[in-house]
Amino acid sequence: METLELKVGLEQDYRKEISGKLNFLLADFQIYYMNLRGLHWNVKGRRFFMLHEKFEELYNDTNEIVDEIAERILSLGEKPLHSFDDYLENKTIRITKNISDGDMAVRSILGNLNELLIQERDILEIASKNKDEGTGALMSDLISSQEKLIWMLTAYLS
């Protein structure tokens, strides 16, 4: 059976490069997802109900983002990372453990989001230079929603 090469109008070298960056982002989003799960499970205090519910919303949204990034990598003809070993080897954000204080949890999320934004802006810049509308649109959407979330979480802490 003949294997067909995926043709999306982008050079193969570029597709490999951007997929590599997307895989690093994917690894960090998987760590961010697990951080959110831990915060959801462990938060305590007078704002428990509100934060418990918000953290669940955030990890559900993040799960969808993970899928979108992986599917973008596949659309570029490459393979997404898909094992915990791969995620741990390629992550740049910090793993959080045993945080039960609500304000500390929100600060942790803000730190993760700011790290993710650095990567997303880098990917957006490279995608724009290479006329990669699919990757650029995905990054623009992520950046826009995360900037709004950062604003809201910062307002919560104020």
Q: What is the spatial distance between Cα 151 and Cα 97, in angstroms, rounded to a whole number? A: 24
- Whole-structure pTM value: 0.94
- The fourth-level CATH superfamily of domain 12-157 is Ferritin, core subunit, four-helix bundle (1.20.1260.10)
Predicted confidence at residue 132, as pLDDT, reads 97
Local confidence pLDDT in tens for the 158 residues of the chain: 555 566 788 999 999 999 999 999 999 999 999 999 999 999 999 999 999 999 999 999 999 999 999 999 999 999 999 999 999 999 999 999 999 999 999 999 999 999 999 999 999 999 999 999 999 999 999 999 999 999 999 999 99
Q: What is the amino acid identity at position 83?
A: S
Q: Which of 128, 2, 135 is nearest to 72 (CA)?
A: 135
Predicted confidence at residue 9, as pLDDT, reads 86
Q: b/e string for 103-140 if b means 16 or more Cβ within 10 A?
A: eebbebbbebbebbbebbeebbebbeebebeebbebbe
